[in-house]
Each structure stands twice: as C-alpha cells, then as structure tokens.
Structure 1
Amino acid sequence: MEGSDRHTGAGYSAGQLAKALFTAAAHEDAATRERAGERVRRWAAVLGGTLSGRLTVGSRTPVADLPAWVTPEVVRGGFATGTPAAGGPLTRHEAELAARAGVRPERKALFAHHLTEEGLAGLGELLDGGAYRVEFPEEAALPVVAWLLRAGDREGALEVLEAVSPYAGLLRFAPAPADAPPPDPEVMWRETAGEARDGVSGCEPNARVETMREALTVWNPFADELLALWLDTAEDGRVGARTDGEWRDRAAALLARYRELAAAHTRCAKHRKPKENLAILRSALEETVAGRALTPRAAGLLQRAVDSMVARRGRPGEERHAALRARQAAEASIPAHHLLARVVVARLADLPPDHGIRDVEAVLAPAREGEAPGVPAGTPIPPSIARVVRRAYAGTAEELIEAGVVPSAEVLATLVPRIAAAATAAPYADDALRSLMAANYLAFRRRRSLLLLNLEHQVRLDELPWVRAAARHRAADAGSRDDAHAALRRLGELALDAFPGTLPPNPFVRELAALSEEAGERLPWVEELAADIFMGTFSGKFPAAAKIAGELLRGGLYERYYGIDYAAVAAVPDVRRGAGRGAATSAEFDRMCGSTGSWGRPAENGVVIENAQILTTHNLATLVLRAGARPAAGWRELALRAFATAVTLTGRVRGNPRPLSTIKDAAYAWRHMIFFLSLPGAGDPLDFADELDRRLAAVPAPTRARLTPAVAGLRHVAAGGEFAPDGTAGEARRLRGWTTTRHWMAAAP
C-alpha cells in the first residue's frame, strides 16, 4: 500500500479514535460496543505511538524497537499500533506448557525450555506429527531451529537464534498443538468447522416463529371451541338465541381454561385485542356467564364475528375447517430452528475445529432418531442453518466455486494462498520441513499490509530469518519450477473463469507474484492503488506490465478503443529498482498516465490510476501472455460474462446517492470485456455488439439507457472509427470509471 503525508498525521488516527469511542459508548448492541472498545484500544495506541515518536507511519519498520520481520498489529488504513501480533499475554497452551515443564510462566523461560533436550524433542514430535497451528509466522521460528539442528545445520540454527533471541521475552516463537494434521494442500475452506459451530450455536428461538406456533397450537384451537360453543346457541342463524344451564357450565369451564392458557402462554397477544374475533367471542361469553344481557352493540359484534369465522374457515368439524387445522398443526409440529441447530452443533463437535468440512451433506442430513429431544427422525435441516454450515465446506478451489461457496474474487483471494503455499513449499524434500514451511507461508499471507511511503514494498517472505535459513535446504529444480508455473496458470484461469468482470484483488495479485518468483519468472504484477493516498508516480513494474500488454494487444480493438499508442509504450526505457529506499520510477510512463509527479485530489488521482490500469490491463495481459492462462469458457463467453457484471452494476446506479464507486466497478468490468473481445478466437466485435443490443433489450430501461451509449461506442470502434479526445463519437461514448466532472452515467435519468 502506497501513501501520502495526508494520512500519516495524528489527525486521521484521532478521527478514527473518536468514531470508535462514540460507538463504544452509545451503540445499543452490547457486542458492537465490545468490538468498538477493542478499536478504541488500538487507535489509542496508534495515536499515542505517533505523538510520542515510537511509531513512524509510512515506514517498513513502523515500531522503533522492532525489526521489519516482526508481524505488527495493524488497524484500518495500514496503521501499526506498536503491539506485535505474536505478543500479548501467555496463551492457555503456553501456560500449560510452562506448568508441565516446571518453568516460570514467562515467555523468555519458555523460549529457553524449547532449546533444552526435552523442548527440542517436543518440537520434533510436533514437526513429525504435523498437528500444530501456526497463527503468526514467528511461531515457525523455533520448529525451524529444531529441524535444522537434527539435520546437522548448526550454523543455520544459530543464525535464526541470533536474530530472534532478543525478542524471546516478547514474542511467541513456537506453535500451539492442533487437533489434527492439516489436510491435503489442495483442500481449502472459507470457514472452519469450529466457526460453523459457533455460528449455528448462536441460533436462538425466533420470537415471531414461536408466537405463530403458540397461535396455531393454543389460540386457534381455543377459538374453535369458543365458536362451536356459540354456534350451539344459534336459531335461524342468530347466535345467543338459546342457552341453558348445561351450556352455561360448559361456558364457565371454557372461561376458566382461558385464564389458565393466558397465564401459561404469553407470546401471542391477539386474544387480548378487543377488535379480534376471539376476544369478541370471549368477552360476550363472560357477560353471558355473569348473567348480564348483551348490549345491542355487543350482540351485533358477536354475530358478525361468528359469521365471518364460519365464512372464512367453515364450521368446526367440517371438512374444509378440519383440512385447514390439519395443515396448521403440521406446520406447528415442525421443530423450531434452535432445536435443529442443536442437532447440527452436536455433529460439528465431532469434527476437527480448525479445519473445514469435507462431507457437508453428512452434517446436514435429516435428523436421526434420538438426536435431540422434540426432533422427530427425518426432520430436514432448515436452509438458514445449512447456509452457515456450507460456508465451511472443504474442497478444491474449483469445487468451492462450483458449490457457490466463493461469491466474489475477494473471497477467492483469501483461499488461494493454500495453492501458492503448496507450490512454494514443494522444493523442500523433507516432509516435516515442507509442511512447516507451507504453514509458515499461510501465516505470512495473513499478515496485514502496512501504509507505506516512497513506493516502499511490504516485507517479503524471504526476509524472515528462519525462512532464509531453511531456504538452503530447498531442492529447487526444473520440475518444481514447472509445478509453480502450473499453479500460476491455474490461479489465473480460476480468477478469469469465475470472476471475469472483477479486478483481481491485491491479495490475489500477491499470490501471482509469489508463484511467478517460485517459477523463476520475475513478472510485473501490479496492485490496485488507492486514489486518496496516491503519490503521483508508479514503480517500474507498471511500464513493464504495459509493455507486455502491448505485445499482446498492439494494433487490436483494445488499443483502438482506449486510444493507446503501444508503440510509444514499448519505447519507454526499462526501469529497475534502485539500491536505496523506495523504487525507481519512470517519469515518461507517469506522463503517459497524465500524472504531474505529485499527488492531487482523489478524483484526479483516480483518473491517473485508471490510465495506468488501462495501459497495463491490470495483469490480464500478463496472465494470458506470460502465465499462459486459457480459461475453459473461452474468450467470447468471458466477454459476455463481463458484460453481465457491467449490467448488474449499472443497474445499481439509479437512485444511488453515491454512484461513482459503482460506476467505477462497472467500467472495470467493461474494460475486461473489451480485453477478452480483443483476443484471438473471441469472434467479430461487430457481431458481439449486436448481441449486446439484444441482451440490453431485456434489461430495465434506466440500465439500458446508461449502457446504450457504451455499446454504440464499441460498435463505432469495431467498425474502424475513433473517439474524440473527450471520449465521444456523436451519441457513442467510451466507458471509463473515473472523472473529475459529473459522470455521464450518473447524469442519465
């Protein structure tokens, strides 16, 4: 993340702290107040550290007394709080280990214990069994030391210890045991079985559902009895015409039971509302049993209530009435969701809580006999509970996408590190070290990005001392490089096939970069930059990526649609990273993007950033030309899917008080469509424009009105035309996302 001085002062932190304080004090929800209280702690630490000088915002080493490899606690915006993520009080596991080992319950004492013969043996058992959990990369340091020592690499072990021992009293350098070893690296999940269990266990009785159940099982049958009692008094359709002592006794008994029911069943209040039929029948009964004659108004209300009840449902005991009550009784007999949740919670308790669920259908099978009180065998698990469990489905990335568990490219980006972890750990010949380095990679990828200035780069995996020492034991060869390239291609195809209209998120781009390095290819993968903290210049990988795009797209539809001169891009001198801080940049490329070399207003920055995205295709050309991505769907189909995304997003513009973000995303999807349409095998773009017109005919008029000029612009360029400098050609328009004036899509009716 690159930044400017506008977000590095104490003012931003103070503003965030004030928001958190207000929420912590005033929000009506206790859980929200508690979360806000934690934010208060973190932002107070950021503000205090910034004012005291202990924190340097924008630096790779933001905490004065900690090296870059220490995982920092990071809050929104990339600000470090000054607290190391792997620090804090002793965990329960550490306290238990200290008690077993007979050492002081302090981190420094535990560190020393791990280096004893007994401690190294314990680490070795963890390594060989594989049942451990690396939450932060630091927790892999001492297991690496243990492995290096038993491999005879004393020098490597001492190198790691020299780097980490100054922080022995501060950080956790060993992992906690897990319930089971990790599954096949190909298997991944969005949530764990433990998280699914927590989500389902929070299912409480639904007040509305329980109120309806009470109405169906208690008050409807009671209303039927009241109705039947009054019908017994009818002559020539007029109720209350004849009563006797036996009827009065039945009426008094029914009123007594009403009082018992009202005291025991308090959810449903309809029987107490004077205008409800049940209340009218009961009120008239009370008057009659008390020996008081009904007033003309009360008698009229009674007659109307009886007539309407009979007309709506029939007389109690008649076929129509009995069928209705049978249906309602069946509905009421369905066990409440919170009872079925207990069934699922019990099933989930038998699964490893740190892993996903491979056989979701077994967890969601209908209830079995005796699984929970009040739940008959064969009762299906309701969809609301099933949705929570399905989020923990464990499978390959392809299986999760097909199952609908991965709804967005952002979610996919959280899963694919497992693919990259397996590829980057593959060169380690030893099984135990390979598993450890894969776990270390995944923990490292969970590290949150810092706000950085001067085009500084985030800490890299090989900067971790234990990774450097272990790397000497890699057996990298052509086969492992081929495997990494295959994983790179697979990731590209996954993203393009599943989300062809979405910009690859930055975490996904980082995995592409890691895999290409593993494959021996330093490819220029570019991140999405934030317009509000852009400093007006691009690092050298941006012009390098634009040159790859030019190789693929020069002379084609994409170049002509966006008015690019890829020949001029190819002539930009190569830029290499400098030896000092930051990254070398290309002033010539900056000018091509419309930058003056310094930051401006967010809208101005956004236009410049979008120009760079257009020139580079934001990694699409690199995926196709260098990674060799060839999605199964084919380019024309991907173009149609990208168009569908643009349609969906455009439909959200009308009535949107803040439409620019939505327009921007729609323009990104449109750009992807133009890119796919420019590749060999995508077909004739004029025919494609005709297809878009046919599809637009089926969408709501406001959406059609916004996209028709864009389709006309595609047709105009496909037929050999060009846009004017302002991106127009008569009624036709070039669709872009950022603008410093009012966007034409926002101005449409």
Structure 2
Amino acid sequence: MGYPAAELARAAETAGSHPDAQTRQRARERFARWSAVLRRIAGGSVSVGSRQPVADLPFWATPQVVRGGFATGEAVAGGPLRPYEAELARRAGVPAQRDALFAYHLTEAGLAELSVLLESGAYRVETPEEAALLTVAWLLRAGDETAAVGLVDELRPHAHRLRFTPAPDDAPAYGPEVVWRETAGAARERLARRKPNGRVAAMQEALTVWNPFADQLLELWLETARDGQVGARTPAGWSDRAAALVERYHRLAAAHPHCGKHRRPKENLAILRAATEEAVAGRPLSPRARGLLQHAVDSMVRRRGRPGSPEHAALRERQSADAAGPMLHTLARVVVNRLAVFPPGCGIRSVEAVTGPITPEEAAWSGVPAGARIAEPIRRVVRRALAGTVAELIAAGVVPSAEVLARLVPQIAATATAASYPDEALRSLTAATYRAFRNRRSLLLTNLEHQVRLDELPWVRAVAGHRSALAGTHASATSALRRLGELALDGFPATLLPNPLVRELVALDREAGGRLPWVEELATDIFEGTFSAKYAAAARLAGDLLADSLYARYYDIDYAALPGADDVRRQEGRGTATSPGFDALCAIRAGTGPSWHRVAANGMIIEQAQILTTHNLATLVGPVGVRPAAGWTALADRTFTVVTHLTARLRHNPRPLRTVKDVAYAWRQLVFFLSVPGAGDPALAVEGLRRKLDEVAPDVRDRLSPALADLARIAAGERRGPARPPGAPEEGGDGASGPLLGWTLGRHRLLTGDER
C-alpha cells in the first residue's frame, strides 16, 4: 500500500498547488484513480499481484492500470457510452445501455451492420474487447455457429459493463509496413492545447510597446538637458508633452499586462516614468530622484545612442523584426486547422503538406502574415505523426529510442501475426485486435505469473481453428522477427531491449513456429530471488554462441558448467517453472549469497542473469540470424561513442546511479559485439577504441581508461584468474578491476566524487 499512498499524496499536492490549471486538473484525475486503487485494495475487490486483479471482471478484460502496474478496478472498455454507441441505440430504437446494444448486434439487423464493417474495414479497435462481436459476425458468416454461440455465451455475462463493438472510422489505405508514432488526431490535440507563452508575450511587449515608449520619455528628458545635465531647463510645450506621455502610459499599462519592466523601480523606464509623473504633478524632484534620473538618461544614451541616431535606429529595427514573428500558439492554430482534414486515427505521409508557409487565406483569419514559415517547435509535433516505414522514421529522427521503437512494432507484428488467416476480413480484424492488445498496460504480477496473452482472449481462441498452416506464414513471421532485431541493433546498439519490444519478439517467434527463450528486464524492487527456467535456457543458448569468446573471458563465464535442461522445478503456487541451479549461480556470481531483500542486491543478481543470457542478444544473433548492416566492429564503435557520452553525463550529476547502470549495460553490449563469431580480431578493435578514448574529455578518459585497459588485457588472451569462492564479493563491482558492472553495494568505480 505504500507506493499507491505515496502517489496519492503526490497527486494531491500537485492538484492543490501547481500554478497551471490544466496540470491541476490532470492531478485531480490522478488523485481519483489512486483513491480508487487504495479503496478497492482495502475492500478486497482489487488484488495486487494477480493476473485477474479485479474480482468482478474476467481475467481477459483490459483493466485500467496506473503507474506501477496497479489496477484501479475499472475496465478500459467500460465507462459511459461513446457517442457512436448512443447514436446507434437511437437509430436501433433500443435503450442506451450496453447490454441492450449487445442484444441488438445479435439480431439480423445488427449482424448485417457488423458484416458491413467487416467487409469495409472502416472501423477502429481501441481495446481488444471491441473486436469481439465483429468476430461473432465473421464466425456466423463462415458457418461456424458452434464457435459463435460459445463466444456469445462467454461474453454475455459482461455485456452490461464492457464495450464489444468498435468505433466506425475511415482510414487511408496504407500498406502494412507503414507505421506512425502518433496519429494526426493526437498531434492536433497536442497543438490545440498550446497556450500563449507568457515569457514570449512579455518579450514582444517589451520590444514593441515599452522600448518605443522608453525612447519617447528619453527624448522628452533630453530636451531639458544643458551641458549634459537633465532637468536644467524646460522648453516651450514640454509640460503638455509630458502630461500626454503620462496619460498614454496608463493606457498602455492597462492594455499590455504581460511585461512588468515599467513597474520595477530600478528599471530605467520606471525611473523616467516616475520622474515625468512628478514633473506633471508640479512636484520638484528630490536629490535622490534627480540622481537616478540623470543616471538612467546617461546609461540609456551610452548603451544605445540617442533616439534617432543611426546606431539607435538600427537596434530598434532589429528588435522590431524579432518581435514581428507570430507567436507559437497562433501558428499552432493554423496547423490544427490543417490537420482537421486528415483521418484522426492514422499518421500523415508528408510533414511538408501540413507545415508549409502561411497562405493568404490563412493570413486573413489568423492574423499571421502570408508567407510566414511554421516554427520548428510546431513542426516537431507534426513530425511525430509522420507515417512511413520504421527505417524511414528512425532516419528522420522520429524514433529516438528503443522504447519508442517498441511502441511502433505492434503495427508491423500485427501484419505477420494475422498472415496465417486466409480470409482477408479476418486478417484485418486480427491485425486490429493485435494492435489494440499491445496497448494493454502491464500489471504488477507476483509468483512469476505471466501477463495475459493474445491467444487467451476468447474471440481470438474462437477463430484459432481457421488459421492456415501454410509455410509462407512462418516465413513471413521469421522475416519480420529478423528485420525487427536488425532495426533494434542497428538503430539503438547501446540500449537494452525494452520489455515491450521483447513481447513483440516473443509473438513473432511463436508465429514463426519457434519457442526461443526470450527474457525480460526484471524490476529490482519486486524481485523474489528466483528466475523462470527460460533464463537458464537463454544462458545455455548464449553458451552455444559465445563459448571461450572475449565475452565469456571478460565476464568470467564457464558456459560448460551452466545448469542443464533437467534442472527444472515447478514450485507450488508459482505460475511457471524455475531453475534452482541458475538462481544459485546468479547469487554466487553477484556475491550476495541467497539473500535478495535489498534492492541493490536484487539488482546485482538480476545483472548477473543479464550477463549470462546476454539479455536476448545471443538469441537474436544465433537462432534468429540477425546481422547488422554496417558490421559488428562498426556497431561496437557506435556503442563506445554512446558509452563516452553517457560517462560525460556523470560530471556534476547529483543522481548518477541510473547513468552508471546505463554505462554498464552499454558496455556489456559493446563486449558482446566484439565477441560475435565473424566480428574480427577483438584485440585490434579494442586498440581502435583506446585511440578513440584519447580524443574525449579528460574526466571521461580517466573514468573509462581502467575498464578499457582491462578489456584490452582480456582481448589479448589473459584470464581473470582463479574462480572466486562461493559468496565472495566480485572484484570490480565496486573495485578497480574486473568487469565493469552497473550494480554494487558500495561506491562505484565510475564515480570520482564530483557528481554532487
């Protein structure tokens, strides 16, 4: 209960104190969700750690999940009727209730509407449940009444609460290889929320309003100067001009509230304005006020020249040009209007089509000058909605990380998964179901339970018998699996494969007919001291590739001594089998013993499992056959560049531990790339890295030199030395030698003391 309570407190603080109204509103919504989590956990209607967390929802229903994997007790496919559902109920003449709509869709008229959607493909499946009744319609059309009736019977008890039909949607006919990071609708909403920037508005007011007004006051007081002394004389009509400026000041102050420089007493403008008001009121200036006035006039002339002089005129011309540009929120309104013509559920094929110069027609209603260019911050938002192949999006910078790549992959994997269905309508429906299922947020699970799988959804099971066993289906999935692995390694060689990406690899592997041991990154705070048996299998697979390699020597791995395939135990109450020998080996290598009650110790044990398994790299390179386009040495070189950049971030970093772990994980990928069969002589490659290290900043060189020197010795053929006794701390975790690791119980070797 501690984590939800802390999140509730954070949401309450933000809701009550944040200056931005929209942020406060979002915090109130988070507060309501976390309140529901705590209330339902306490009441027993939500179970933490279970794959069926909500007592009155089936395990396959998509639960609403908040940060940390906690279920709120609500269903994502629940809630009030959507507008299209309410309109359908009105047209069908049935009550505006979910169970009434469910019954209507089982009538002849309702099934006919579902069949039209199936054939046209003009629908949008946002949650997997929304594909259920379309599946019923397809089964009936295919003559499989038994499966259709069985599916309806399984769905009916939840018809009052869950939405089982999709939203109608007209989408462009993009090819299956085309993906996008955000939809046009999401980009439009993001831009529509853009508000005027107060600092920019204040700057524009300063340049266009208050600077010209300050020039007028300066000219006024320069008229009173004699021998450089202001206020020495009063020219004819001066008092009337001064009174007019004071009156104008009050009008400007009321009309332009963003810039406050005219109200700050130490500003030259405020000093001139105050002196003018005193003169208009007929009050003599005090000696102090007279001195401030003289200083203000002198400094303004010295810095910018007299008003009307060439240097002064040139400065004001540049400032006017700077202020003439439209504000971002005004440009955003124009682009929002342009995006309205695109289908909201898809990406756009051309950024330039949305971000071209302002047209005369747009200038007429927006106030933005015709021909003005859309600013880069607005273009950046639109670029996130660019549709293209994954390789195109990576090249365009739209996919900056493996995590973002993982969010795009379901659009590719969906096509490969659906390829095994011979019927085109069913392929489209299956692909839509897959994409929606991959948006399902992971639950916090215990006892090695696994997340709900796609083939456990009742409507997916119902059509499983209609799949084709064509060899081409496996070939399509195998090709997609290899291509995805290449994209991940070529695009982000220094990054661990994130769990969402691993899940897509698992799905594609199954479609290809394989059962490879893909392993996930585990959370240190809920680690229970044991791994599922697939981790040991992944380590044995890595041994097939890396036995007696640089990787094995550097990390001191005797792959021949790994626990065998018969080292499996299925513990009562756990969802999957474990390998006791692998668990013990990881604990011994970590030097923590069997204890796993500390987060840092958990991290050390998990890191050893990642080292032994290579965290899926060996699986990609071995059975899948992934090969980088530029070659292994080039990949290692790019990874080393990332290592140096990450190490540079340690400088004056008050929270360096996350970066330390990223450095160590990237380093492990580097060692792997140098160790793959066919990568060439690792000693030569390491020598090239040593030359590259000479070119970086001194502090980065000092931090990494010991680790690189150690790698060079191992690459030259040296061994680590005798094996450590069980339970002995591994030298190098926080010492000055041994493999570079990310987790330690003591001070890390990469930290020199200047981080804080």
**TM-score using structure 1 length:** 0.92
The correspondence for 2:623, drawn from 622, 626, 634, is 626
* Cα distance, 1:501 vs structure 2: 0.7
Task: Please give the alpha-carbon distance, in whole angstroms, between the structure 2 residues aligned to 1:591 and 1:414.
Answer: 35
Corresponding residue pairs, total? 740
Q: In structure 2, list runs of 5 or more residues that go unmatched.
A: 725-729
Alignment deviations for residues 610-663 of structure 1 (CA, whole Å, 9 cap, x no partner): 111111111001101111111112111111222222223223334444433322
The correspondence for 1:695, drawn from 666, 689, 692, is 692
In structure 2, the residue matched to 1:664 is 661
* Cα distance, 1:398 vs structure 2: 1.0
The correspondence for 1:673, drawn from 667, 670, 673, is 670
The correspondence for 1:640, drawn from 637, 643, 646, is 637
Segment drifting more, 478-487 vs 656-665? 656-665
The aligned runs of 1:285-434 (5 Å cut-off) are 285-286=276-277, 301-371=292-362, 372-434=365-427
In structure 2, the residue matched to 1:150 is 141
The aligned runs of 1:588-607 (5 Å cut-off) are 588-594=581-587, 599-607=596-604
* Cα distance, 1:64 vs structure 2: 3.4
SS of corresponding position for 2:751:
helix
* Cα distance, 1:215 vs structure 2: 2.2
In structure 2, the residue matched to 1:127 is 118
Whether the 8 Å contact between 2:272 and 2:293 is mirrored in structure 1 is: yes
Query: RMSD in angstroms over aligned alpha carbons?
Result: 2.8
Cα distance change, pair 230–30 in 1 and its aligned pair in 2 (3 A): closer
Task: Please give the alpha-carbon distance, in whole angstroms, between the structure 1 residues aligned to 2:377 and 2:47.
Answer: 46
Cα distance change, pair 311–485 in 1 and its aligned pair in 2 (3 A): same
Task: Please give the alpha-carbon distance, in whole angstroms, between the structure 1 residues aligned to 2:42 and 2:246.
Answer: 74
Alignment deviations for residues 170-195 of structure 1 (CA, whole Å, 9 cap, x no partner): 21111111243563322222222122
Alignment deviations for residues 464-511 of structure 1 (CA, whole Å, 9 cap, x no partner): 121122222222311121111010001101110111111101110010
In structure 2, the residue matched to 1:217 is 208
Percent identity (aligned):
63
In structure 1, the residue matched to 2:727 is none
Cα distance change, pair 297–106 in 1 and its aligned pair in 2 (3 A): closer
In structure 2, the residue matched to 1:733 is 738
In structure 2, the residue matched to 1:79 is 70
SS of corresponding position for 1:626:
helix
Cα distance change, pair 581–233 in 1 and its aligned pair in 2 (3 A): closer
Whether the 8 Å contact between 1:182 and 1:355 is mirrored in structure 2 is: no
Whether the 8 Å contact between 2:223 and 2:235 is mirrored in structure 1 is: no
SS of corresponding position for 1:416:
helix
Task: Please give the alpha-carbon distance, in whole angstroms, between the structure 2 residues aligned to 1:233 and 1:50.
Answer: 78
Task: Please give the alpha-carbon distance, in whole angstroms, between the structure 1 residues aligned to 2:523 and 2:282.
Answer: 81
Cα distance change, pair 279–629 in 1 and its aligned pair in 2 (3 A): same
Whether the 8 Å contact between 2:636 and 2:670 is mirrored in structure 1 is: yes
SS of corresponding position for 1:73:
strand
In structure 1, the residue matched to 2:127 is 136
In structure 2, the residue matched to 1:6 is none
SS of corresponding position for 2:74:
strand
The aligned runs of 1:102-117 (5 Å cut-off) are 102-117=93-108
Matched, 1:504 2:497: yes
Letter in 2 for 1:363: V
Alignment deviations for residues 341-367 of structure 1 (CA, whole Å, 9 cap, x no partner): 211111111211121222112211121
Task: Please give the alpha-carbon distance, in whole angstroms, between the structure 2 residues aligned to 1:183 and 1:509.
Answer: 26
Segment drifting more, 471-480 vs 490-499? 471-480
Cα distance change, pair 103–597 in 1 and its aligned pair in 2 (3 A): farther
* Cα distance, 1:250 vs structure 2: 4.0
Whether the 8 Å contact between 1:131 and 1:182 is mirrored in structure 2 is: no
Q: Which has the higher contact order (CA 8 A, sep 6+)?
A: 1
Whether the 8 Å contact between 2:409 and 2:504 is mirrored in structure 1 is: yes
Alignment deviations for residues 687-723 of structure 1 (CA, whole Å, 9 cap, x no partner): 3333333333333333322211111110111122123
SS of corresponding position for 1:66:
coil
Alignment deviations for residues 295-343 of structure 1 (CA, whole Å, 9 cap, x no partner): 6665555444444333322233332222222112222222222221211
Whether the 8 Å contact between 1:557 and 1:674 is mirrored in structure 2 is: yes
Letter in 2 for 1:559: A
In structure 1, the residue matched to 2:512 is 519
Segment drifting more, 321-330 vs 55-64? 55-64
Task: Please give the alpha-carbon distance, in whole angstroms, between the structure 2 residues aligned to 1:64 and 1:292.
Answer: 80
Whether the 8 Å contact between 1:85 and 1:136 is mirrored in structure 2 is: yes
SS of corresponding position for 1:744:
coil
* Cα distance, 1:101 vs structure 2: 0.6
* Cα distance, 1:241 vs structure 2: 5.2
Letter in 2 for 1:398: A
SS of corresponding position for 1:82:
strand
Task: Please give the alpha-carbon distance, in whole angstroms, between the structure 2 residues aligned to 1:387 and 1:249.
Answer: 52
Task: Please give the alpha-carbon distance, in whole angstroms, between the structure 2 residues aligned to 1:421 and 1:123.
Answer: 22
Matched, 1:562 2:573: no
Cα distance change, pair 116–35 in 1 and its aligned pair in 2 (3 A): same
The aligned runs of 1:602-617 (5 Å cut-off) are 602-617=599-614
**TM-score using structure 2 length:** 0.91
Task: Please give the alpha-carbon distance, in whole angstroms, between the structure 1 residues aligned to 2:514 and 2:10.
Answer: 45
Segment drifting more, 77-86 vs 366-375? 77-86
* Cα distance, 1:594 vs structure 2: 2.3
* Cα distance, 1:260 vs structure 2: 3.5
In structure 2, the residue matched to 1:245 is 236
Whether the 8 Å contact between 2:563 and 2:582 is mirrored in structure 1 is: no
Letter in 2 for 1:108: D
Q: In structure 1, list runs of 5 or more residues that go unmatched.
A: 1-9
Segment drifting more, 367-376 vs 412-421? 367-376
Matched, 1:531 2:531: no
Matched, 1:721 2:718: yes
Whether the 8 Å contact between 1:190 and 1:393 is mirrored in structure 2 is: yes
Task: Please give the alpha-carbon distance, in whole angstroms, between the structure 2 residues aligned to 1:242 and 1:605.
Answer: 83
SS of corresponding position for 2:360:
coil
* Cα distance, 1:144 vs structure 2: 0.7
* Cα distance, 1:286 vs structure 2: 4.9
Task: Please give the alpha-carbon distance, in whole angstroms, between the structure 2 residues aligned to 1:44 and 1:242.
Answer: 72
SS of corresponding position for 1:83:
strand
SS of corresponding position for 1:746:
coil
Whether the 8 Å contact between 1:130 and 1:182 is mirrored in structure 2 is: no
Cα distance change, pair 626–321 in 1 and its aligned pair in 2 (3 A): same
Cα distance change, pair 207–72 in 1 and its aligned pair in 2 (3 A): closer
